[in-house]
Structure 1
Amino acid sequence: MASSSPLYETYRFSVEDYHRMAEAGILVEDARVELIEGEIVTKRPIGSRHLACVDRLTGLLARGVGFRAILRVQGSIRLGDRSEPEPDLVLLRPRQDYYAAIPATPGDVLTLIEVMDSSAGYDREIKLGLYAREEVAEVWLVDLNKEWIEVHRRPISGVHTEIQIRPRGESVSPEAFPDLVLAVDSILG
């Protein structure tokens, strides 16, 4: 009689496991990894177009929101017990301690931004679904290949129910800051 047990088992890490591995030196401090649904995922190196877009967005958002939000650049947010992605940019609700005592969670996120070139499939197929399931209210996918910005809002039952495409020649605004109108051309360069 054949055994019904699997040939192999995988182990899914918690956020606490992930942090303990970093503290123990198993994950080096500047390792390009993130925790996605319990799996430690290696991130691809950032290309010059990607980096330039992140830098442009950083300048535009910092000037536009000032102290009305905390602008986190390539830092982590905690999504449940098994995910801690590092999006390119996040606008967070202001807090006196800048999230030193308690990590940022989906309820703290005003707008989350992923810049995509070689990572487009992963960001769209894996991370966007995670953000919707964890109820991140607004996600921008800045697609450097298609030269547009996808704005995903209003997550319900694990899916963003409002999707807008903003191509070159148009503008985009974070829902939390409708007065901050950014030209797509200024973001894409």
Structure 2
Amino acid sequence: MTVQILRKKFTVGQYHQMIESGILTDRDHVELIQGEIIEMSPVGRRHAACVDRLNELLVLKLFRKALIRVQSPILLSDNSEPQPDISILQRREDFYNAGHPTPADIFVLVEVSDSTIDFDRNVKVPIYAQEQIPEIWLVDLNDTQIERYCQPMNKTYQQLQIFNLGERLNFQAFPEISIEVNQVFG
């Protein structure tokens, strides 16, 4: 006998109602992925240091060209509101006070990964491709490399480049600006 397990999927609206009513609080480190509320892994010191280092680098390199957000929600669809480690966004006068950024606002998303590398690579990256996010950087703390995904089509990226220590990578949206991989890992 096979038992079918049914899951209750949530919309972004229902997710926000849970936050507003106090069911989910600031202490709940969660994000909404494809209708499911996913508990995020605790942030370790290597992860936090890498995100802080990237934030400083990107703010200095992209000052007045883009808005850099750290671990803040983006609205991908009616059932997904992830919180990437870094979002590089089009500048807006209201700093997205009127609503979270959507795919049309996004230049690049960055996920810094150690214990979550498989989830980020196999779940989040395909969702970002499906939603036509033009560029994703997956910073792999375990292998000390950056995976750069470009050219989304359906649920996959047509281009994957891997950058190692000693190499430089730049942005599709800002080809004149490059980052040394060594700077990301410190």
Q: TM-score range by the shorter chain?
A: over 0.9
Q: What is the aligned partner in structure 1 of residue 90 from structure 2?
A: 93
Q: Distance in 1 between matches of 2:4 and 2:179?
A: 52
Q: Deviations over 1:102-146 (max 9, x none)?
A: 321111110100001111011011111111111111000000111
Q: Distance in 2 between matches of 1:86 and 1:165?
A: 23
Measure how far apart 1:156 and its partner are. 1.0
Q: Distance in 1 between matches of 2:27 and 2:174?
A: 32
**Secondary structure of 1:29 counterpart:** coil
Q: What is the aligned partner in structure 1 of residue 164 from structure 2?
A: 167
Q: Distance in 1 between matches of 2:48 and 2:170?
A: 21
Question: Which runs of structure 1 show a deviation greater than 3 angstroms over 4 or more consecutive aligned residues?
Answer: none
Unaligned runs of 5+ in 1: none
Matching residue within 170, 176, 181 for 1:184 = 181
Are 2:59 and 1:62 equivalent residues in the alignment? yes
Unaligned runs of 5+ in 2: none
TM-score, normalised by the number of residues in structure 2: 0.96
Map residues 44-83 of structure 1 onto 2, 5 A cutoff.
Answer: 44-83=41-80
Amino acid corresponding to residue 183 of structure 2 in structure 1: S
Q: Distance in 2 between matches of 1:117 and 1:125?
A: 14
Q: Distance in 2 between matches of 1:187 and 1:69?
A: 19
Amino acid corresponding to residue 184 of structure 1 in structure 2: V
Q: What is the aligned partner in structure 1 of residue 148 from structure 2?
A: 151
Q: What is the aligned partner in structure 2 of residue 10 from structure 1?
A: 7
**Secondary structure of 2:42 counterpart:** coil
Measure how far apart 1:173 and its partner are. 1.2
Q: Distance in 1 between matches of 2:27 and 2:68?
A: 20
Measure how far apart 1:7 and its partner are. 4.3
Measure how far apart 1:157 and its partner are. 1.8
**Secondary structure of 2:125 counterpart:** helix
**Secondary structure of 2:124 counterpart:** helix
Amino acid corresponding to residue 12 of structure 1 in structure 2: K
Map residues 129-140 of structure 1 onto 2, 5 A cutoff.
Answer: 129-140=126-137
Q: Distance in 2 between matches of 1:125 and 1:150?
A: 13
Q: What is the aligned partner in structure 2 of residue 107 from structure 1?
A: 104
User: Number of residues paired by the alignment?
Assistant: 186
Q: Distance in 1 between matches of 2:4 and 2:144?
A: 44
**Secondary structure of 1:165 counterpart:** strand
TM-score, normalised by the number of residues in structure 1: 0.95
Q: Distance in 1 between matches of 2:83 and 2:154?
A: 23
Q: Distance in 2 between matches of 1:30 and 1:36?
A: 18
